[in-house]
Structure 1
Amino acid sequence: MNSYNELAQILDRLSFSDFYFNQISNAYCQVDFGKRKGKIDFTSIKSAAEQYTYESSGKYSVSIDRQLGTLEETQNAELILQCVEVFDWGGVQASNIIDAINLHRKNELKPYLAECKVWFENDDDLIVALDKLSWSSGWTKVFSFMFELTTIYDSRVAAYINYIFASFFDSLQGLEQKSELTMITKHLVSFKGSGTRVRCLNSELRGMLGVKMKSSDDKRNFKANKVASWFLRYLSKLEYGEVTQANFRKMDKAMFMLGFDIKQIDLRAPFE
């Protein structure tokens, strides 16, 4: 698999939509987010998107609901400020800020982001041929705010995506079908949980699906971020009827909310 169309064709052939509407789209669950947010009832994917909550002060000009301006028209001085603000919004300042500043000082920040934008928005290529790679929990937020249809690929979003695929894999009957699904899942990664929150696909299912643990392999992280974005685009089409940036972001929000602690979603889920 090397394109969005191939991903969509694989899922179409496997009748993923039947599984999605029967098992995922309108599934009820209750998640306890802790003392500050408490318990939230979700009755569907749409419900999870609508009840998205992320704690941040009103000081930020950046927002998950607003894409940043056209990269090509953004001045270098504003671009570095946008990166720093996104890092701060996401609480991922460490090392990311200085990396962005160093790129800015060498006049390489805009060219780097422009190159990444072309790659992420290219639906027909999954091969990573970028000269320099910098992927982290901070940079994925920058990419998502600056590029179209690009997910914030963090531990929570990855957890629920992996949960969907693990559940779908289990529902498939034939070895050929399972093998075909791994043409997609082998590009994904799994993040470690937060200690008390379960977000990591267990080793047995990682082996079956070809999912690797998130590591310092930025080339793989780039691919995983892109394939996850393609999958959310496919889900947006199923759930909302059309793919727009607004609908894509709703799906992004739903994954974030539902991926908080997979064991609260499904005690039998193959997560650890």
Structure 2
Amino acid sequence: MTKNQVDTILKSLGYYDSFKELMNQTYLDIDYGKRLGVISFDSIFEADHKYAYNGDVGIAQFQEWNIILNSKYVSEEQILIVCLKIFDWGNVLTGNVKSVVNLYEQKKLKKYIHKVTELLTFQKTLEKPNFINDTILWSSGWTKVYSFINPDILIYDSRVSAFLNFTLIRNYNSLSENQKEIFQKLSNQLFNFSGALGRERKVAALYGFKNQHPKGIDGFNANLISSWITQCTKERLGINKSIRSFEKAFFMLGFDLKQIKDKG
């Protein structure tokens, strides 16, 4: 699948008009628990402004990580340290340390990062037969690394995925049978995965999203497609926001779908 194909599908489904309506929808009294309490948003992008998860890491540090990951003149050690810092920032050290340390010990980490940097710019999903002898990593940690390599790539986690899927299914019931078939060509490439216990992150199975946790090339491709959806939406609607703004808004609003699904 290509970015242009994603754009064509979204246009044929009326997604851009639907998203435009959602932009100014209010999301009232979302209960985030003890840490953040109850928060209301007057629009999707007010959720970006009220994003509260950067911790102690500032913009300057984020920019430094981007520079190191994109440099040809850094060492394996420098890249390892940045990856570990990103995993730590995202609270995803567990389960991700082994993969990055393995690449480092094999002296393949720098090469892998440079390869992925190129793949993230392609406007076409990866085809498995072309990567039989290559490992493509995808996890809750690696999606964060990829986002720091390329600012147009979403961090594709359960919360971002949840709200993105929510926007996609909004006018599903008004689609024709032919449009529903087209819809599933897109949804079949994306994931419907659970997050924290007690939080609703999944949409109904009938929409055709993959009901499992993404990994490998399938996860990488879903990360690309989700990023293209936001890129195309930004471009088609002339939204003067960064992909990071979409990501932060989706992260906040994807916390618990049962608290917002009656909106709009």
What is the TM-score normalised by the length of structure 2?
0.89
Name the structure 2 match of 1:213: 211
Tell me how far 1:57 sits from its aligned partner.
2.8
Name the structure 2 match of 1:99: 99
Where 1:260 maps in the other structure, the secondary structure is: coil
Partners of 2:119 and 2:259 in 1: how far apart? Answer: 36
Asked if the contact 2:80–2:100 (Cα under 8 Å) also holds between the matched residues in 1, the reply is yes
Tell me how far 1:237 sits from its aligned partner.
2.3
Q: CA 1:169/1:72 → structure 2, altered by over 3 Å: closer, same or farther?
A: farther
Tell me how far 1:61 sits from its aligned partner.
6.4
Q: CA 1:152/1:191 → structure 2, altered by over 3 Å: closer, same or farther?
A: same
Tell me how far 1:75 sits from its aligned partner.
2.6
Tell me how far 1:170 sits from its aligned partner.
2.4
Where 1:72 maps in the other structure, the secondary structure is: coil
Q: CA 1:66/1:164 → structure 2, altered by over 3 Å: closer, same or farther?
A: farther
Asked if the contact 1:235–1:251 (Cα under 8 Å) also holds between the matched residues in 2, the reply is no
1:9 and 2:47 aligned: no
What is the identity, as a one-letter code, of the residue corresponding to 1:233? Q
CA RMSD of aligned residues (A): 2.3
C-alpha offsets along residues 24-60 of structure 1, whole Å, 9 cap, x if unaligned? 1111012111122111111112211111110523589
Following superposition of structure 1 onto structure 2, how do residues 52-71 of structure 1 map, counting pairs within 5 Å? 52-54=51-53, 56-58=55-57, 62-63=61-62, 68-69=66-67, 70-71=70-71
Name the structure 2 match of 1:36: 35
Name the structure 2 match of 1:108: 108
Asked if the contact 2:192–2:213 (Cα under 8 Å) also holds between the matched residues in 1, the reply is no
Following superposition of structure 1 onto structure 2, how do residues 100-249 of structure 1 map, counting pairs within 5 Å? 100-128=100-128, 129-130=130-131, 131-172=134-175, 174-203=176-205, 205=206, 209-215=207-213, 217-238=215-236, 240-241=238-239, 247-249=242-244
Using the TM superposition, name which of 227-236 and 162-171 deviates more.
162-171
Name the structure 2 match of 1:47: 46
Where 1:212 maps in the other structure, the secondary structure is: coil
Tell me how far 1:149 sits from its aligned partner.
1.0
- Choose the corresponding residue for 2:249, options 254, 257, 272: 254
C-alpha offsets along residues 157-188 of structure 1, whole Å, 9 cap, x if unaligned? 0100111112132232x111111122211100
Partners of 1:164 and 1:254 in 2: how far apart? Answer: 12
1:84 and 2:84 aligned: yes
Tell me how far 1:199 sits from its aligned partner.
0.5
Where 1:199 maps in the other structure, the secondary structure is: coil
Tell me how far 1:122 sits from its aligned partner.
0.3
Asked if the contact 1:60–1:85 (Cα under 8 Å) also holds between the matched residues in 2, the reply is no
Asked if the contact 1:62–1:86 (Cα under 8 Å) also holds between the matched residues in 2, the reply is no
Runs of 4+ in 1 over 3 A off after TM superposition: 58-63, 238-242
Asked if the contact 2:143–2:155 (Cα under 8 Å) also holds between the matched residues in 1, the reply is yes
Where 1:149 maps in the other structure, the secondary structure is: coil
What is the TM-score normalised by the length of structure 1?
0.86
Structure 2, unaligned runs of 5 or more: none
Q: CA 1:29/1:191 → structure 2, altered by over 3 Å: closer, same or farther?
A: same
Structure 1, unaligned runs of 5 or more: none
